[in-house]
């Protein structure tokens, strides 16, 4: 049984403020790296406890290299670093399940901790076939290209609600914090969150037969809204996209992996 774990940073227990996720020279970011690595290790343990024979972890926040290598679980392989040649590096046909670890709700979700989509500074928003979507959908669409079903998601309460809304009630979710605002929350102690994640990952191995890959009708009508009008100008000038208004562009996507190529 082969499992792919896609990670982000904003949805990790103990992470609730932008200084922990943006500036890599900040001491709070360095602390967040340890919190992320420990949750990854708990998730890998759970997968192996549940019978996984191969686990691949993708370090997905901000281009990668957020983990602390010397602390990583030896029972998995790790995809990290910037400059990856394609979305979903490490994903391939034959992987049995996708786990979304440390994810967050899409931009604009009330009381969601550090809610955003793609850029935490740009206030980006995305729609696919007319449905506003966030990174949960984006990652699941790419995994769906390879026939990989989502089986588990961890993050704050709104993130887990979003995962069930798009991916189905069968998906196992672990709520590690509940937001009061974009940068404040009531969180679980990291040790408790890790114990819950390990147990959930073990249980997730047993629901794989009930899960199906996530997809949308092709071609996908993809729409992106940015606050940066100069960036919109550049996208339109590059071709393939049409301008909807001053802040919005739209294009048709035949391959789900191309949703990242706006």
Residue 182 belongs to domain spanning: 2-105+134-214
pLDDT of residue 180: 98
2-41 pLDDT, tens digit each: 999 999 999 999 999 999 999 999 999 999 999 999 999 9
9 belongs to a structural domain:
yes
96-132 pLDDT, tens digit each: 999 999 999 999 999 999 999 999 898 999 999 999 9
251 belongs to a structural domain:
no
pLDDT of residue 43: 99
237 belongs to a structural domain:
no
- Residues above pLDDT 90, as percent of the chain: 95
Q: Stretch 141-162: mean pLDDT, rounded? A: 98
Q: Stretch 228-237: mean pLDDT, rounded? A: 94
- DSSP E strands in 80-236: the ranges are 97-103, 125-128, 131-133, 150-156, 172-181, 184-187, 220-225
3-state helix, strand, coil in the chain (%, to 5): 35, 25, 40
Say how many C-beta atoms besides its own lie within 10 A of residue 176's C-beta. 28
147 belongs to a structural domain:
yes
pLDDT of residue 261: 82
247 belongs to a structural domain:
no
Q: How many domains does the chain have?
A: 1
Instruction: Please give the DSSP secondary-structure letter assigned to residue 61.
Output: G
190-204 pLDDT, tens digit each: 999 999 999 999 999
pLDDT over 80 (residue 262): no
223 belongs to a structural domain:
no
190 belongs to a structural domain:
yes
Averaged confidence pLDDT in the chain? 97
252 belongs to a structural domain:
no
* CATH code for position 149: 3.40.50.10780
pLDDT over 90 (residue 63): no
In Å, how far from its chain's centre is CA 198?
18
- Cα–Cα distances (Å) from 63 to 85, 90, 102, 210, 230, in that order, read 12, 14, 15, 32, 23
pLDDT of residue 66: 97
């Amino acid at each position: 049984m082969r499992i792919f774990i896609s990670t982000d940073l904003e949805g990790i227990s103990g992470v609730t403020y932008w200084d922990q996720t943006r500036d890599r020279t900040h001491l709070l970011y360095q602390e967040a790296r340890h919190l992320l690595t420990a949750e990854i290790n708990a998730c890998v343990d759970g997968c192996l406890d549940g019978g996984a024979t191969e686990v691949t972890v993708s370090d997905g926040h901000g281009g990668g290299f957020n983990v602390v290598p010397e602390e990583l679980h030896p029972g998995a392989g790790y995809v990290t670093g910037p400059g990856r040649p394609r979305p979903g590096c490490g994903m391939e046909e034959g992987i049995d399940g996708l786990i979304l670890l440390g994810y967050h709700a899409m931009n604009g979700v009330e009381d969601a901790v550090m809610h955003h989509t793609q850029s935490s500074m740009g206030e980006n928003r995305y729609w696919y076939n007319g449905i506003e979507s966030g990174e949960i959908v984006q990652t699941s669409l790419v995994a769906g290209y390879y026939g990989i079903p989502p089986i588990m998601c961890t993050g704050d309460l709104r993130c887990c609600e979003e995962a069930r809304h798009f991916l189905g009630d069968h998906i196992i979710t672990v709520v590690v914090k509940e937001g009061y605002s974009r940068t404040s929350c009531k969180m679980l102690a990291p040790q408790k969150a890790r114990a819950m994640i390990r147990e959930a990952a073990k249980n997730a191995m047993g629901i794989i037969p009930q899960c199906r890959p996530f997809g949308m009708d092709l071609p996908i009508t993809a729409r992106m809204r940015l606050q940066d009008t100069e960036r919109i100008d550049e996208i339109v000038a590059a071709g393939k996209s049409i301008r909807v208004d001053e802040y919005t562009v739209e294009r048709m996507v035949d391959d789900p992996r191309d949703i990242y190529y706006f």
